[in-house]
Every structure is written in C-alpha cells, then in structure tokens.
Amino acid sequence: MSKALGKQLVRGVGLLSAGLLLSVSLLGLATAAQTSKSTAKSAPAKSDPKKVASSKPAKASAATSTKPAQAKNAVSKTASAKATAAKPSNDRHASAKASRKADIVEAKASQKANKGGRDKAGKRALAEERVSAKHMQLARHKERVQPAVIARSATQARAERVAARETRLSLQPVVAEQTASVEPRAARLSFGQMAGLHAVGDPLDLKSSVALVMDQDTHEVLVSKNDHAVLPIASLTKLMTGLIVSDARLPLDEMVTITDDDIDTEKGSRSRLSIGTTLTRGELLHLALMSSENRAAHALGRTFPGGLDRFVGLMNARAQMLGMKDTRYVEPTGLSSANRSSARDLATLVQTAAKDPLLRQLSTSTGYDVAVGNRVVQYNNTNRLVHDPDWQIGLQKTGYISEAGQCLVMQARVGGRKLIMVFLDSAGKYSRLADAERVRRWVEIQRPANTVASNQYSG
C-alpha cells in the first residue's frame, strides 16, 4: 500500500508541477506579448520577427532549466497531446476556408471569363460594324471619285498622245515637213474627158461631152456634139436588155430567183435584192428599166433560154440588125466599160424601143413597191424628170459608171415635136438633167431648124 501511495503522491506532485510550469509559461508569454506591443508602438521601425521568435525559446529554456527533468517531460507530453487534439479542428477550418476561397476565386474567374467573353463578342461585333461602315464609306467615295478618275485618265491619255505626236513631229526633219502635204487624189477621169471631148463648145453650153437631139419623125438633127464618139454607155445597156426580153415574148409572170451568180463582181455595187429573192420576170424587167437594178437585169439574162451567153449574143445581133455599127455588148447590166456605143447608135435604139408599149410603160414608171421576204422595198425612178409636169416623156433610161460619166437618153414631146435626146459623159450628177432642160427651153423658144456643134471626134 505504501508503494502505491507513494507513486500516486509523486504523480500528483508531477501534475502540480506541470500545472505550475504551464501557468508560468503562459504568464511569460502574455508579458512578452505586451512588451512586444509596447515596443512596437514606441519603436519607429518594425522588429525583426526572427529575433522575437528566437527570444521565446530562450526565455522558455531559462524558465524550465530550474525544474526537474520529469516535470519537463510531463509538460512536453501534455502540450503535445493538446496540440494533437487541436490539429484536426484547425485542419478542418483551414480546409473549409480554403474551399470557400477556392469557390469564390472560381466564381470570380467564371464571372470574369463570362464578362470577358461578352466583352470580346461585343468588341468583335463593334469592330465588324466599324469595318462594314468603312467599306461602305470607301465604296461611296469610289463611286464619287471613279468618274473623275476615268475622266482624268482619259484626259491624261489624250495629253500623252498629243505630246507623243508633237515629239514625233519635232523629231522629223524640216524637209519631211515641207513634203508632208499630199495633193488630194484626183477623181477618175471618164473616157470622154481623157479624149478631150469636154473642150468642145456648143451654142447651148451643154455640160455633156456628147449630145444629140433629133426629131423622131423627120430625123432632123437639132443639136449635135461629138455624136460619133464611141464611149462606155453604163446602164443605157439595159434598154437593149429590155428590148431582147420583150421581143422574146417570154411569160412575164414566170418566177425568177436571185442567186450568187447575179452579184456584181465588176464594180462591187450593192443591191436591195438579196440572194434568194424570187420575183416575176415582169417585176425584174420593171426594176431594171425604172431603177436600173443591176441584179434584176443580170437575172433576166441568166435565166433567158440558152443562158447568158446566148442572151448577150442576141443583144449584139439586134444592134447589128438596127444598123448600130459602133455598138458592142459584153453583159446585160452596163457595169462593164466594154459595153460601148455612140450617140447616133443610141438614138436609133431609143427610136426602136419607144415603139414598144411595155418598155415605154416600165421605163417611165415613177415608183414600184416590191415584197422582198418579210418586208416591202420601195423603188423610185432614177430620172426625176418623170415627176415634172412640164415634161411629156415617152421613154427614158439613165446610166452611170466612172468610165462613162453621167448618161441619159429620152424620147419626149417638146414644142409639139417628138424629140430623141442623147446625153453622154456629163460632168456633174445633175448636169445631164440640166442639159435636157436647156434643150427643152431652147426648142420651145427658138425652134431653130438645126444647131450643130463642131465634131472633134468621129469614128
């Protein structure tokens, strides 16, 4: 019993010592804390935490150095037990606090991220709107500026061309500048001009180099100028073409089609009768005599029984029968300058053709409408005198190629007389008609028996 009691007493004394030691330690810690506070208030600078921490173990070691070793062991065990007991609670609080902080940080980060995303989207939309507005502004500016730029570029290009031209001119030698002017190309002379027939004068001052006016019934010659000169006769040829067709008594209602063979390869003249046009023979004859339609005349010869060669042969044969010794034909239109005759021979032809009612009617027609495909083509007479009420024209035909000049033959009643008029190689477009007017006025006023100009050319 005494041993057990002794052990309990020792244990009690140890516990009491440990309690006292703990109280003294706590009191020392409180005093140290108060001293540190007052020192912190009085001192201008902060104390070094390392020195304070080092002073605490020193005081504790000084206080505990006077106690027995057992009491020290007991106190250390008790402090360690309390620290062990308090550690789980502190860990839970720290963990909870860290968790809340993490949640707060995460929420703030999420909010910031969302806000950043919205801000980025808004900024992106704003940037797109600004870019679109900028593009629209540039487009409007381009629309306003582009015409001016084009005008400036055109003006600049023109100025550059002018400058280049001036540069080229400035680089040319003076001799080249003096010889740069070229004389205008002279008009092609007719056969009558080349033969000097225009130099022959006459009392009526006619502009045609060849003229013949005679009474149809008495064969009296009223005006004569170079009447034996053999010259190209152009479309006066068509008068013989019509005479051959009329004499052949071919059906005028027979359909004839214009083909590639009817295209003018001699002079390259145009025609309003397109390839494939189909007309009656009578319509083609009408257009050939009234409007001098070349394709119509060629088609008449091409479709003649026996062909074109036979037709041209008949033209020459008929001329020989009529005593037209100076006349020669190579084709039925007059486009070739090889078709030639004299005023005397042509007067004979007019006198013969004037006896044919069909030729009289068609040659003096003022106009005719022809259905060509889906359109109607209007043709007029090439001789405007047929519209003049002062004229009584029974037969007429005009003609022109550069080699023949302006030509005209007519049968008309003037001053109560049937006159045959032939005008070849007239100088101007309307001079042949003016010559006919001069003759008519002269005949009506003067009514001379005969007026003959000197005949420079005969043959």
| Active-site annotation, residues | 235, 238, 292
Strand-pair category, 451-452 with 221-225: parallel
Q: Which pair of structure tokens corresponds to residue 245?
A: 């067709």
Inter-axis angle of helices 69-171 and 2-42, to 10 degrees? 40
Q: What are phi and psi of 411, to 5 degrees?
A: -120, 120
What CA–CA distance (Å, rounded) separates 395 from 409?
A: 8
- Note whether 452 and 202 are within 8 A (CB): no
Inter-axis angle of helices 237-247 and 343-353, to 10 degrees? 30
| Distances, alpha carbon 456 to alpha carbons 90, 196, 225, 228, in Å | 152, 9, 8, 9
What CA–CA distance (Å, rounded) separates 387 from 430?
A: 15
CA 192 distance to own-chain centroid: 48
Per-residue buried b or exposed e for 387-416, using 16+ beta carbons within 10 Å of the residue's own CB: eeeebebbbbbbbbbebbbbbbbbbbebee
Torsion of CA 274, 277, 280, 286, to 10 degrees: -10
